[in-house]
Amino acid sequence: MIGGKRAVVLLSGGLDSATVLAIAQSENFDCYALSFAYGQRHDAELDAADRIAFKYGVIDHLTLNIELGRIGGSALTDMYMDIPQRQQQGIPTTYVPARNTVFLSYALGWAEVLEASDIFIGVNAIDYAGYPDCRPEYIAAFQTMARLATRMTVEGREIAIRTPLIHLSKAEIINRGHALGVDYSLTVSCYQADERGRACGVCDSCRLRKAGFDAANMSDPARYSSS
Amino acid sequence: MIGGKRAVVLLSGGLDSATVLAIAQSENFDCYALSFAYGQRHDAELDAADRIAFKYGVIDHLTLNIELGRIGGSALTDMYMDIPQRQQQGIPTTYVPARNTVFLSYALGWAEVLEASDIFIGVNAIDYAGYPDCRPEYIAAFQTMARLATRMTVEGREIAIRTPLIHLSKAEIINRGHALGVDYSLTVSCYQADERGRACGVCDSCRLRKAGFDAANMSDPARYSSS
């Protein structure tokens, strides 16, 4: 491998993953951003991912079309299911079955090809407590599996799954990103943003974001369709 | 859930996965076959998967286009790399980084949606000793991760990753399938089969298959371009 240490950074275009990319850059990784078109309603996120990757000057940005939505089971990919507008009990209908596992699996493959040592993902165990694949014990188990899955283990190298946001509140994430100079106007968090990237302001993800900016005593630079 | 017990069966169109499907059917599972177009050279395998799924009357057969080949790193997906024609030392160039992890991740998501209890995969630790993601310890680690990844654990259900071929020789696999009535003329194993499904007869996969039929004292009903 020629050059510095490499990281694959999962980049959705939302607030969390933009912050994670800034953190990876601050650790002097050569960053390779990975995004997915998986049938989600909010394609505006992918446009945001493009803008963020460009702004940060990542080495490469790969957006894969992966048809995950075809297996169904989520309000995020099924046009016949409603996006919930208030907190739900248990696992929310916006949960996409095995999404983080699929995303991390691709990241693992790309990391292997790139000989990257780290994979960054913006999972959060506080705001997304209802999502089983955002829990620390899940990430630990993925890392154990990942070490056995690839030629890296055979060759004595290691791969680290990095989750710098996992125990932070949304306000703490925003403060961290702010300190690193993240331009949150580039990000889109809404589950049902319109084609111009304007957020609905009422879905779970919008409410979490708004509450985070409020708690951080900052104004949210996102554009809302209602404002 | 209405109906019998369900299984997701990874179906490549090759000899191994056809045998696995027959085994799952013999255990009275309602089978949901899952195939992937991932940039592999051998699209003939996918035609074979269609024929096999139809012949077995699976409940559903989903072929997902997943762009795994775009991350590179394998002779199976990179037209500029040669398919090896003899056994290689170490990990063969036909190894696709994280392929089984990506495949199993999709299967996990579909199993969650279907409330399937079992995922069947035709990995083999003998013939594919060079592939890290064919080892029993890898499968065990994936299963541990899978239980934490999904709502199944939260709801107290379990998911089993089933690998009925993992310790069998190719001849034993063929004997097992023969006893179950598998029509191996439907299967395509070749890494570079032509558009009519004819095998090259010289790649690793063809040689393993031929040796297996020889050891089982059976003739291979596959069509070879050289014959």
Could you report the predicted ipTM of this complex, rounded to two decimals? Answer: 0.90
A68 shares contact with chain B (CB less than 8 Å): yes
Contacts of B95 in chain A (CB under 8 A): 151
Element (H, E) at B204: helix B204-215
Percent of chain B with pLDDT over 90: 61
Q: How confident is the model at residue A41 (pLDDT cuts 50, 70, 90)?
A: low
CA of B127: how far to CAs of B89, B103, B136, B168, B171, in Å?
A: 13, 19, 13, 9, 11
pLDDT for the residue numbered A73: 74
Q: Which residue of A has its CA nearest to B136?
A: A148
Measured distance CA(B40)–CA(B43) in Å, rounded = 7
Q: Lowest-pLDDT range, A14-18, A189-193, B56-60? A: A189-193
- DSSP class of residue B199? B
Q: Decide if pLDDT at B157 tops 60.
A: yes
Q: Decide if pLDDT at B142 tops 70.
A: yes
Strand B6-10 to strand B118-120: parallel, antiparallel, or no bridges (unpaired)?
parallel
pLDDT for the residue numbered B215: 96
B98 shares contact with chain A (CB less than 8 Å): yes
Put simply, the answer to whether A144 touches B142 (Cβ < 8 Å) is: no
B31 Cα to chain A: minimum distance (Å): 15
Q: Which residue of A has its CA nearest to B140?
A: A145
Domains of chain B and any CATH numbers: 6-215 (3.40.50.620)
Across the A/B interface, how many CB contacts are shorter than 8 Å?
145
Q: Give the one of A102, A151, A154 whose C-beta lies nearest to B109's C-beta.
A: A102
Contacts of A157 in chain B (CB under 8 A): none
Q: What is the pLDDT of residues A77-123, one digit of tens each?
A: 666 666 666 655 666 777 788 999 999 999 999 999 999 999 999 99
Q: What is the pLDDT of residues A193-217, one digit of tens each?
A: 888 889 999 888 899 999 999 999 9
Q: Lowest-pLDDT range, A32-41, A109-118, A164-173, B48-57? A: A32-41
B66 shares contact with chain A (CB less than 8 Å): yes
Percent of chain B with pLDDT over 70: 87
B65 shares contact with chain A (CB less than 8 Å): yes
Across the range A11-32, mean pLDDT stands at 97
B92 shares contact with chain A (CB less than 8 Å): no
Q: Give the one of A66, A91, A105 whose C-beta lies nearest to B154's C-beta.
A: A91
Q: Which residue of A has its CA nearest to B138?
A: A148
Q: Residue B154: what residue type?
A: V
pTM score, whole prediction: 0.91
What angle is formed at CA A19 by the lines to CA A87 and CA A44, rounded to 5 degrees?
Answer: 65
A81 shares contact with chain B (CB less than 8 Å): no
Q: How confident is the model at residue B86 (pLDDT cuts 50, 70, 90)?
A: low
Measured distance CA(B123)–CA(B190) in Å, rounded = 16
Selection from B80, B92, B9 nearest residue B39 by Cα: B80
Q: Decide if pLDDT at A171 tops 80.
A: yes
The DSSP code sequence of A93-151 is TT--TTHHHHHHHHHHHHHHHHT-SEEE----TTTTTT-GGGSHHHHHHHHHHHHHHSH
Q: Is A61 helix (H, G, I), strand (E, B) or coil?
A: strand
Q: Is A210 helix (H, G, I), strand (E, B) or coil?
A: helix
For helices B136-149 and A136-149, what crossing angle results, to 10°?
Answer: 160
Q: How confident is the model at residue B85 (pLDDT cuts 50, 70, 90)?
A: low
Put simply, the answer to whether B109 touches A68 (Cβ < 8 Å) is: yes
Q: How confident is the model at residue B56 (pLDDT cuts 50, 70, 90)?
A: very high
pLDDT for the residue numbered B47: 92
Q: Give the one of A96, A110, A141 whose C-beta lies nearest to B71's C-beta.
A: A110
Contacts of A97 in chain B (CB under 8 A): 108-110, 112-113, 150-151
Q: Decide if pLDDT at A137 tops 80.
A: yes
Q: Mutate one of B34, B89, B106 to test the A interface: name it (highest A CB count within 10 A).
A: B106
Percent of chain A with pLDDT over 70: 88
pLDDT for the residue numbered A161: 97
A101 Cα to chain B: minimum distance (Å): 6
Q: How confident is the model at residue A227 (pLDDT cuts 50, 70, 90)?
A: low
Q: Is B44 helix (H, G, I), strand (E, B) or coil?
A: helix
Put simply, the answer to whether B151 touches A132 (Cβ < 8 Å) is: yes
Q: What is the pLDDT of residues B103-133, one digit of tens each?
A: 999 999 999 999 999 999 999 988 766 788 8
Across the range B57-80, mean pLDDT stands at 84
